[in-house]
């Protein structure tokens, strides 16, 4: 190539090659702009589902079933952005926790209700047993009184009690009418 002005206008790179000092300045400027410090820069996250080279791998039916069961894609095969749906997932998780807490509370209430019913049943059963015991004691008392009357010679059951005439010596030798025992002690 010739270094004529006309040739330089037609090819702008020819001018750069012709002036070595300017080329050095441009290279120096490019080097100053280059930095190896990545502390503040964020490396972009790799997403394999969007990689063109892995497309045939992820289009496999078995792989799509696996991705769907894990929850990475939907039924149509679209990728679900988990960052976008985090708030929805959080709300659903909170609803599950609240439902579980309600269920635990309901079970506790049901258990306390059952315990109260058990307690009431036991109280009613105890009261019934007590009433039966009292009734049996009353019947036993009536039977004892009838036995006493029969031993004294009374044949009819009368509401009034007859008090036997007691003499000083005879009263000490005979059993009293109010005594449970039929014989003397």
Q: Is the pLDDT of residue 154 over 60?
A: yes
pLDDT for position 170: 47
Average pLDDT over residues 133-162: 81
**Mean pLDDT score across all residues of the chain:** 80
Half-sphere exposure of 72 (CA within 13 A, CB side): 11
Q: pLDDT value at position 30?
A: 87
**pLDDT tens track for 12-26:** 555 556 688 888 888
- 157 pLDDT more than 60: no
The residue-averaged pLDDT of 42-56 equals 86
The ranges assigned to domains in the chain are 1-43, 48-80, 85-152
Per-residue three-class SS string for the chain: CCCCHHHHHHCHHHHHHHCHHHHHHHHHHHHHHCCCCCCCCCCCCCCHHHCHHHHHHHCCHHHHHHHHHHCCECCCCCECCCCCCHHHHHHHHHHHHHHHHHHHHHHHHHHHHHHHHHHHHHHHHHHHHHHHHHHHHHHHHHHHHHHHHHHHCCCCCCCCCCCCCCCHHHHHHCCCCCCCCCCCC
pLDDT at 172: 47
Whole-number pLDDT of residue 156:
53
Looking at per-residue pLDDT, the higher value among 158 and 126 belongs to 126
pLDDT tens for 112-142 read 999 999 999 999 999 999 999 999 999 999 9
Higher pLDDT, 44 or 67: 67
């Amino acid at each position: 190539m010739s270094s004529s002005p006309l040739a330089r206008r037609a090819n702008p790179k020819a001018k750069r090659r012709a002036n070595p000092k300017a080329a050095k300045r441009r290279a120096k400027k490019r080097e100053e702009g280059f930095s190896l410090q990545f502390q503040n820069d964020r490396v972009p996250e790799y997403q394999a589902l969007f990689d063109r080279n892995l497309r045939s791998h992820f289009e496999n039916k078995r792989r799509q079933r696996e991705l769907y069961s894990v929850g990475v894609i939907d039924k149509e095969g679209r990728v679900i952005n988990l960052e976008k749906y985090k708030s929805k997932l959080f709300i659903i998780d909170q609803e599950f926790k609240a439902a579980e807490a309600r269920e635990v509370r309901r079970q506790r209430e049901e258990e306390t209700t059952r315990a109260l019913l058990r307690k009431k049943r036991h109280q009613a059963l105890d009261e019934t047993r007590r009433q039966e015991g009292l009734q049996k004691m009353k019947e036993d008392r009536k039977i004892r009184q009838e036995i006493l009357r029969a031993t004294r010679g009374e044949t009819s059951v009368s509401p009034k009690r007859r008090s036997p005439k007691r003499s000083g010596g005879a009263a000490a030798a005979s059993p009293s009418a109010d005594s449970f025992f039929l014989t003397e002690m």
